[in-house]
Structure formats: C-alpha cells, structure tokens
Amino acid sequence: MNTIPTASVDLTAAHRLENTVQPYDWGSHHHIQGLLGRPRDGRPAAELWLGAHPSAPSRVSNGSTLADLVAAAPVEVLGRRVADRFGPRLPYLLKVLAAERALSLQVHPRPHQARAGYHRENRAGLPARAPHRSFHDTEHKPEMLVALTPFEGLAGFRSPRAVLELLDGLDGGLVGRLRDALVGTRSSAGLRAAMELLVAARDGATCADDVAATVASVRARARSGSPSDRADATVLQLADEHPGDPGAVASLLLNRVSLEPGEAMFIPAGEVHAYLSGLGVEIMAASDNVLRAGLTTKHVDAGALLECAAFAPRPPVRPDTVVAGTESLVTSYRAPVSEFALMTADVDPAEPVALAPDGPRIVLVLDGAVRLLTATGEVELRRGESCLVPDAAGPVSADGSAHLVCAWVP
C-alpha cells in the first residue's frame, strides 16, 4: 500500500472525495448519472462506492486513496475508539445503489466463513481479482438499505406452508420436487432441501424446459387474478430478465419486500436475498464477499451459498429508526451490528443539524447544498458531492438547504 505522510494532510479538516461508479449490467441508466450531474451515455451505473475498500477506494483531494489516509493515520482518521475495535481500517462501505433490473440471488458470509473461504481460495492459487473467485476479503457483510425511491426486493424465507400454497397448481418437474421436499419436512430443513434442488437444477438437462413450464403456469394464474398475484409478478419479471434461470422459481421461497422512500431493511449475513428495482442508499461492513446462486452473468458458487445461508423462515428485518428535529428532519437508522449506522437529514436553513459526533464520518449530499462546519473550518457540498470528516475534526454540523446522508460508526 502506498501510504502518505500524515504531515501532508490536515486531519482536522473535512476532505472531499472522488468515488468510483460501478457499471454493472443491472444498473440504472439515469439515477446515479443525475445525482452526479453527468450526461446519460447509454451505459448503466449500478453503484456509487464511498469508502476505503481495496476494490474501489475513494480518493481524497491530494489524489491519495482513503485507504492510504486511514493506514497513515488511523487514530486521527478513525478515532481511538474505532481503531481499537477494528484496527487500521474503515469498517463500513457506503453505496448509492440504482437497480433497473434484478440483482443476483445471493448471500453474504458470516465472519468465520469469510475468513475460511478467503484463505481456502488463496491456498488454491486464485488471483485476487479472478472472476471465478467468491471470497475477496476476510470480512462478513451485513448490510442495510434505505430507499430513496419506491424499492422492491426479496429477503429471507417464507414459511414452508406459505411456499406450498404458492406452488399449488404450478406445472414443471422441478416444482414437483420442491413440493415433495417441503411436504416431507415442513421446517428450515425442508427449505434447505428445496434450495438445494433449485441451485442444482441449473446444471440439469431439463432445467430450461422445467422453468418454462412453471413460468407458463404462473402466467396463466396471474391472468386469472389469483391472490398470489404479487409473487407471480415477481416470477414473471425474473423470468423475462433471466430466461431459463431457476432463480425465478426460487423467488417463490422468499419474502417480497416493498419499501417507500425513507423506509429501510437490514440484511444480516447469511440471509438469502435479491434486490429487484429502485434507488437506495446502502451501507454495509467493508466487504465485497457475494455468494451467488442465480439471476446473474457473474460467477455462481452454489456450494458456498448453501454453506453460508440461513434457512429459518422469518420476515425481513427492519432496523431501529429514530426521527428528530422540528424545522430540519433527521432520521437515524441502527442495525444490530457494530460496524455502521446511517443518518439522513433534510436540512432546513432555520435549523442546523448536528451530525455524528466522532469517528470517521462520510457525508453525501443527495439534493441541494450544505455547509459542513467543524471547529477548524468548513466545506461546501452540493448535490452529488461527498466528503470524509475525520475523527480529529471533532463535532460537525450541517447548515443550508439539502437532503444528505451521513455514515458513521456507532
């Protein structure tokens, strides 16, 4: 790592960030472009990364990466509290996620699974950026998403009884095997057996025909206006986007989630999920470990997904939310993890907003303009601009007229 001397950077001041846009094929053609004030060029922009993850670290104003800055002065940037807990690294990664179509059916590992998988692939000689690599670091990846537009997703397993109701009357040999698995064991073991059948079906000679038969029966049921129309619509969307992929059928096993702007969901490590559409701010432990089982052109590692997934049926998890303010409106989102928390603020000129008091804070302006004030100075940010406020800068407040997000370590 090419670290920088601490004397070359004022660590008591906020630092503007330059961030990477990830052009994944499922991304929106206008949301992130509009946020950043960039022209539409026909290419997707799926994620804007703000953080220090080595895959795409943000850069500070002198051209060094945020990872360099943390390595050179961990206590000044992170604060003693955060540095003692997590070592010399920024423990979270902030993203703007813009999905025009569905992301992969995926899961993220728990800490011990991430370490074991990463070292296993290292011993096997897989290069760090190999496209067929599953574990890119040693960290777990719980994540939380706050919707900026209406947002749709899948998260966590339905009860076996609910799944059997959705499978009732559908055609296809794969669906028949799923029914048998769930009727025989109406528990998390039955859901695991059903998921194993679905991920194994990808390699079967009759997979495309099986999926086509099921989709045709779902389409017929949807035309009849059945009570399962929302689940059926999900299958049809995914089948249109990924023809022949059994992940479309797998959606019947999972809870459908709809978020309105300002609503949030938490995805713990081990939870099978897929985002379907919408714009949101996502914060997670600083990891890029994604284990995929379908609905993707990327590497599928069904074995690792089954090893790391949790199959207990439960509803999607909503984080703790606290709303404060009179003229300005501040919403704090807390998930049951120690790496991250998120604050959104609609800042009104009549009421400056105090942001997180210490630690490494990343602020992104989603709309409007704001001045961030610290004891030693200020920085002005407009729509699409962001900055790091190091711990050494002390308390920070926002003044202006803007909608912003602030990531921090609780």
pLDDT score recorded for residue 203: 84
> Where does 320-408 sit in CATH, by number?
2.60.120.10
- Please determine, for residue 224, whether its predicted confidence score (pLDDT) is greater than 90: no
pLDDT score recorded for residue 7: 52
Residue 114 parent element (H or E)? helix 111-123
pLDDT score recorded for residue 63: 85
From the list 56, 57, 79, the residue with the least C-alpha distance to 68 is 57
Phi/psi at 173 (nearest 5 deg)? -65, -35
Phi/psi at 261 (nearest 5 deg)? -50, 130
CB 328 within 8 A of CB 370: no
Mean pLDDT for all residues in the chain: 94
pLDDT score recorded for residue 286: 97
- Please determine, for residue 154, whether its predicted confidence score (pLDDT) is greater than 90: yes
pLDDT score recorded for residue 184: 86
User: How far is it, in rounded angstroms, from Cα 340 to Cα 142?
Assistant: 10
**Which is catalytic among the residues 133, 292, 361, 383?**
292
pLDDT score recorded for residue 1: 42
Residue 257 parent element (H or E)? strand 254-259
Q: Is the dihedral of CA 310, 179, 169, 105 positive or negative?
A: positive
Note the pLDDT tens digit of each residue in 311-321: 999 999 999 99
CATH 2.60.120.10-classified regions of the chain: 6-154+259-298, 320-408
Q: How many residues does the chain have?
A: 410
pLDDT score recorded for residue 362: 98
Note the pLDDT tens digit of each residue in 119-128: 999 999 999 8
Q: What's the mean pLDDT in 33-61?
A: 95
pLDDT score recorded for residue 29: 97
pLDDT score recorded for residue 289: 94
Q: What's the mean pLDDT in 249-258?
A: 97
Note the pLDDT tens digit of each residue in 160-215: 999 999 999 999 999 999 999 999 888 999 999 999 999 999 888 889 999 999 99
Residue 74 parent element (H or E)? helix 74-78
- Please determine, for residue 4, whether its predicted confidence score (pLDDT) is greater than 70: no
Q: Please name the fold of domain 6-154+259-298.
A: Jelly Rolls (2.60.120)
What interhelical angle do 207-223 and 173-184 show, nearest 10? 80
User: How far is it, in rounded angstroms, from Cα 118 to Cα 128?
Assistant: 10
- Report DSSP letters for 192-247, one per residue: HHHHHHHHHHTTSTTHHHHHHHHHHHHHHHHHTT-TTHHHHHHHHHHHHHSTT-TH
pTM of the complete model beyond 0.85: yes
Note the pLDDT tens digit of each residue in 364-386: 999 999 999 998 899 999 999 99
Distance of CA 399 to the CA centre of its chain: 29
CB 298 within 8 A of CB 22: no
Strand intervals (E) in 88-135: 92-99, 105-107
Question: Is 292 marked active-site?
Answer: yes
- Please determine, for residue 78, whether its predicted confidence score (pLDDT) is greater than 70: yes
Beta bridge partners of 285: 92
Token pair in block for residue 75:
């206590």
Read off the amino acid at residue 101.
R
- Please determine, for residue 2, whether its predicted confidence score (pLDDT) is greater than 80: no
pLDDT score recorded for residue 9: 80
User: How far is it, in rounded angstroms, from Cα 41 to Cα 47?
Assistant: 16
pLDDT score recorded for residue 129: 84
